[in-house]
Amino acid sequence: MKNPARILVPCRRGRVIIASDAHYWPGRPTTAHRALVQFIEKYRPEVVIMNGDVIDASTISRHPPIGWEKHPSLKEELAVAQDRLDEVEYVAREARLIWTLGNHDARFETRLASVLPEFKGVYGVHLKDHFPAWEPAWTVEVGGKRGAIVKHRFKGGMGAALNNALWSGRTVVTGHFHRLQVTPITDYSGTRFGVEGGMLAESPGPQFTGYTEDNPQNWRSGFVMLTFVNGRLLWPEIISVVKPGLVDFRGRLVKVAK
């Protein structure tokens, strides 16, 4: 993927909605995806960021299949992702649309580059060719030094959110681990946040049943909204799925359109 290393997005006043790990799959859209569309339409963010792993790309994984479990083809996955992102684009209006590359997204070009190197540069071999409305990047810096860094992954482990903020010296919003949480850290520089953006996919979902062996996972469906006022980032807000058709936001339950 021909990604710029970093996209800089000034934002002194307004909102940024960040959704991670959709792993879009054929079938009915998840509650988290439908809530994302609903919240974008209502809150009119300046920027919408799909923070990696929009596709699952299970059939081109480096991991062998488990038995004869059936997964959708890459073509089917791309078609579903295009449909879902079309829904986002429709309500986003003038919002800037950015897609940070996730490890599952990277499977698309990694497979092509490894088995068909002579196709380098041909239209269609880059994932962004199939999603032209979205700007690709590894990292998004929103709101300058007092804002946030958005990328699919940085530090690992259970303490990833805290370590992301600690080691970067910045507020950092990541996906990858499917957790949904805000962890503040305060020092002489002030307060910053380690934010994990959850997942648009459902937990459990058909994408994950085999390799998780149906074990419980510390995963949560939902997404994150950042608000900037006078150049300052306020406390990051979480939109969390409570049950099908219902999300928790600002201490109240919000129905999600079907």
* 239: phi then psi, degrees, rounded to nearest 5: -110, 115
Q: What are the Cα distances from residue 57, in Å, to 81, 134, 199, 237?
A: 11, 19, 16, 30
Residues 14, 46: contact at Cβ < 8 Å? yes
Architecture of domain 6-255: 4-Layer Sandwich (3.60)
How high is the pLDDT of residue 42?
Answer: 97
216 burial via Cβ count (<10 Å: 0-12, 13-18, 19+):
exposed
How high is the pLDDT of residue 62?
Answer: 77
How high is the pLDDT of residue 149?
Answer: 98
Residues 200, 32: contact at Cβ < 8 Å? yes
User: Whole-prediction pTM value?
Assistant: 0.95
Residues 32, 222: contact at Cβ < 8 Å? yes
Measured CA to CA, the distance from residue 240 to residue 133 in angstroms comes to: 27
How high is the pLDDT of residue 145?
Answer: 87
In terms of Cα–Cα distance, which of 30, 35, 29 is closest to 255?
35
How high is the pLDDT of residue 69?
Answer: 80
* 192: phi then psi, degrees, rounded to nearest 5: -135, 175
| Rounded average pLDDT per 10-residue block, the chain, 258 residues | 79 96 96 98 98 94 78 95 98 96 94 90 93 96 94 97 97 98 96 98 86 89 97 97 97 95
How high is the pLDDT of residue 213?
Answer: 86
Residues 228, 11: contact at Cβ < 8 Å? yes
How high is the pLDDT of residue 121?
Answer: 87
Supply the Cα-derived Rg of the chain in whole angstroms: 18
Q: Which residues pair with 134 in a beta bridge?
A: none
How high is the pLDDT of residue 116?
Answer: 87
Q: Which residues pair with 181 in a beta bridge?
A: 196
Write down the domain spans for the chain.
6-255
How high is the pLDDT of residue 209?
Answer: 79
Sheet containing 6-9, strands listed edge to edge, beginning at the edge strand earlier in sequence: 6-9, 139-142, 148-151, 171-174, 190-197, 180-187
Measured CA to CA, the distance from residue 238 to residue 45 in angstroms comes to: 15
How high is the pLDDT of residue 1?
Answer: 47
DSSP state of 40: H
